[in-house]
Structure 1
Amino acid sequence: MNDQIRITPIRVVDQNGEMLGVIPTQEALRIAGESGLDVVEVAPNERPPVCRIMDYGKFKYEQKKKLAKNTKQHQTQLKEIRLRPKTGDHDIDFKVKQARTFLKQKDKVKINIMFKGRENAHHERGREILLSIIASLDDVAKVEAPPRMEGGRNMSAVVSPR
């Protein structure tokens, strides 16, 4: 770019993409300097080399941005959905819908049933809720960790996207 171009003459393309023709390197540098831009070699192996008048800093920035966009990947997260054994059917349906959106975004979902007080006597009700949720998510998720008790108060299962 600019003073690093040693060969003269060069074929020049201006910032609008129009061909200026084969001109001496100093002339191309003068034209680029008047418009506050740089002369950048785009095809060094051609004879004469092809150079373009452009804003080199902006060009490098756009290349870096394009590269970052292509390499950006989704970081998988573990989302949690909390329920109780007494949770109503409509509320469970709403939570299942929420879990579905998490799974479509490629996140794992931990379904957690919390037991308090007398609810501890009804672990089977919590297991039924967990199994019904897993069954309804079967088309978009696979079970990573089956339902099990964690501590004395929580029962949980983990599902991940298919």
Structure 2
Amino acid sequence: MINEQIRDKEIRLIGENGEQLGIMSAREAMKLAEEAELDLVKIAPTAKPPVCKIIDYGKYRYELARKEKEARKKQKVVEIKEIRLSPNIDSNDLNTKMNAAKKFLSKGDKVKITLRFRGREMAHMNASKHILDDFAASLGEIAVVEKAPKVEGRSISMVLAEKKS
């Protein structure tokens, strides 16, 4: 809330340089803000009495937006990359998929390994579970199993994440 939107009887006022000006009525505070050619902005509405500050509102909003943008820049978004396997995969193909998983993990992403079953392969789901276990074991030095293998419809999937050193 700014300027005329502030309807409280008493407020605690902070000056433009950060000094405490004490508790006063909102009208008096508004007069002080107009004299300084700045805005009266409610900083802490839940406090008793509410805290208001005399500042340039446009500059204040700009600073907040800049801080928010800076915080977003520093965030690392963790993506989940998916690698699909079939139960009758050959060892060379499996090694290729492992190399891809290593590359994803080294970039800091999580990897979801999905073992997909089609047709009659559905009857032998338990016999093919060892593929996921071997996959996780071979990546054991750089990855940790975040979500254990779980049957989801026509597939079994698990999630691997980079090991924290």
Shorter-chain TM-score range: 0.5 to 0.7
- 1:161: which partner in 2? 162
Unaligned runs of 5+ in 2: 1-65
Deviation at 1:124, TM superposition (A): 2.4
Q: Which amino acid aligns with 2:116?
A: M
Contact 1:82 1:113 in 2 (8 A): yes
Q: Provide the rounded CA distance (Å) in 2 between the counterparts of 1:72 and 1:125.
A: 45
Deviation at 1:122, TM superposition (A): 1.3
Q: Output one character per residue of 1:85-106: Cα deviation in whole Å (capped at 9) or x when no partner.
A: 0111100110011001101011
Q: Provide the rounded CA distance (Å) in 2 between the counterparts of 1:143 and 1:85.
A: 20
Matched, 1:125 2:152: no
Structure 1 counterpart of 2:98, from 85, 96, 99: 96
Larger radius of gyration: 1
- 1:82: which partner in 2? 84
Name the Cα RMSD after superposition. 2.1
Structure 2 counterpart of 1:146, from 125, 145, 148: 148
Q: Which amino acid aligns with 1:154?
A: S
Q: Secondary structure at the match of 1:86?
A: coil
Unaligned runs of 5+ in 1: 1-63
Q: Provide the rounded CA distance (Å) in 2 between the counterparts of 1:96 and 1:149.
A: 21
Q: Provide the rounded CA distance (Å) in 2 between the counterparts of 1:89 and 1:124.
A: 19
Matches within 5 A, 1:16-35: none
Q: Output one character per residue of 1:120-160: Cα deviation in whole Å (capped at 9) or x when no partner.
A: 11112321100000001101111111111002x01001111
Q: Provide the rounded CA distance (Å) in 2 between the counterparts of 1:126 and 1:73.
A: 39
Give the paired residue count.
96
TM-score normalised per structure 1: 0.55
Q: Which amino acid aligns with 2:121?
A: E
Q: After TM superposition, what 4+ stretches of structure 1 lie above 3 angstroms from structure 2?
A: none
Q: Which amino acid aligns with 2:114?
A: N
